[in-house]
Structure 1
Amino acid sequence: MEKLANLDRTDVRILRALQEDGGLTNQQLAERVGLSPSPCSRRVQKLEAAGIILRRETVLDPRKLGLDLTVMIQVSMDRHIPERFANFEATVSQYPEVQQCYLVTGQEADYLLKVVVPDIDHYQNFLLNKVTRIEGVSGVHSSFVMRRVIDTSALPLDYL
């Protein structure tokens, strides 16, 4: 396994702080990690330039926005050819309901999608009028999320 960058403890503290709160100002971040603002800003810019920090996001509460149904969908493809996969990936990337899409192995499905919609009626419409109409989709299996036990995008930085 290749490490893309040599990170010191301060870099890891910066990454950990930004994963906890991506909205920190440079001043707040510098105070949190024990640096003055200029060196802190330079380190963040270096981490961004290296592609370690991809972007900063604001996490919204889906339920407070009326998006009460989260569904994990396993999607099987009829043929395992690059064109089928490329078409599927390009198509689902246009659907705002799809929060995550993974090409997977080790099960019958080829893809695992995480989808967020208001309710079962919207899900039925999404499934029947979008997903199953993608060329090459041969099967779907839906699992409905009952409760979010762990829901994070934070990476485990203890290994660095």
Structure 2
Amino acid sequence: MLTLDELDNRIVCVLQENARLTNSEIAKTVGSTEPTVRRRVERLLSAGAIKIVAVATPFQLGYRVIAILGLQIDHQHLTQVEEALIAMPEVRFAGVTLGSYDVIAEVWFEDNEQLLAFLHERLSKIPGVQRIESLQVAKMLKYMYDWSAPPDF
């Protein structure tokens, strides 16, 4: 596991806000030098601590239906369910949970017909899926992808 210090945290926060900044611009923002920032970013990337990607905003991209799915499964089929969810491009997030559901997933679709087809024709046919509860997001209140508040610098 990689340990991050204060400078690493600042660099990550800046990248989360705008990953298109140059290392020189990041260095000015965090109060460091370009070579230090370059080495730190390379170390974070190499260790798999961060990835530089574009974050999609589903409603802006035409996905009008976002649903949170709660799945109850037969635990003998847990691995099979996990592998099936990972392979489905509609599933944007999936996690094994503790509590009322065994797995929670977030899915995106262009319309309700696609969601229904996914639920009835694909998801419910995965061996081990016993129950699915679908909660459709009517209004997105907050959509965060960062892991900390930007530091004051």
Report the TM-score when normalising by structure 2: 0.89
* Among 83, 88, 92, the residue aligned to 1:95: 88
SS in structure 2 of the partner of residue 138 of structure 1: strand
Structure 1: which amino acid aligns with 2:97? V
Structure 1: which amino acid aligns with 2:63? L
2 CA distance for matches of 1:61 and 1:154? 14
2 CA distance for matches of 1:87 and 1:29? 43
Question: Displacement of 1:35 after TM fit?
Answer: 2.1
Contact kept in structure 2, 1:12 and 1:157, CA below 8 Å: no
Query: 2:117 maps to what in 1?
Result: 125
Report the TM-score when normalising by structure 1: 0.85
2 CA distance for matches of 1:64 and 1:157? 24
Contact kept in structure 1, 2:81 and 2:127, CA below 8 Å: yes
Superposition map of 1:77-88 within 5 A: 77=73, 79-81=74-76, 84-88=77-81
Question: Displacement of 1:51 after TM fit?
Answer: 3.0
How far does the alpha carbon of each residue in 1:126-148 deviate from its partner, in whole angstroms, 9 at most, with x for none?
A: 11111101111111001011111
* Among 17, 22, 45, the residue aligned to 2:14: 17
Contact kept in structure 1, 2:65 and 2:109, CA below 8 Å: yes
2 CA distance for matches of 1:146 and 1:36? 46
Gaps of 5+ in 2: none
Structure 1: which amino acid aligns with 2:85? V
Q: How many pairs were matched up?
A: 150
Contact kept in structure 2, 1:70 and 1:145, CA below 8 Å: yes
Superposition map of 1:43-82 within 5 A: 43-53=40-50, 55-77=51-73, 79-81=74-76
1 CA distance for matches of 2:38 and 2:80? 40
2 CA distance for matches of 1:30 and 1:47? 15
Decide whether aligned partners of structure 1 residues 157 and 61 sit closer, same or farther in structure 2, where only a CA change above 3 A counts.
Answer: closer
Decide whether aligned partners of structure 1 residues 12 and 147 sit closer, same or farther in structure 2, where only a CA change above 3 A counts.
Answer: same
Query: 2:102 maps to what in 1?
Result: 110
Structure 1: which amino acid aligns with 2:70? Q
* Among 118, 121, 129, the residue aligned to 1:137: 129
Of all paired residues, the percent bearing the same amino acid is 27
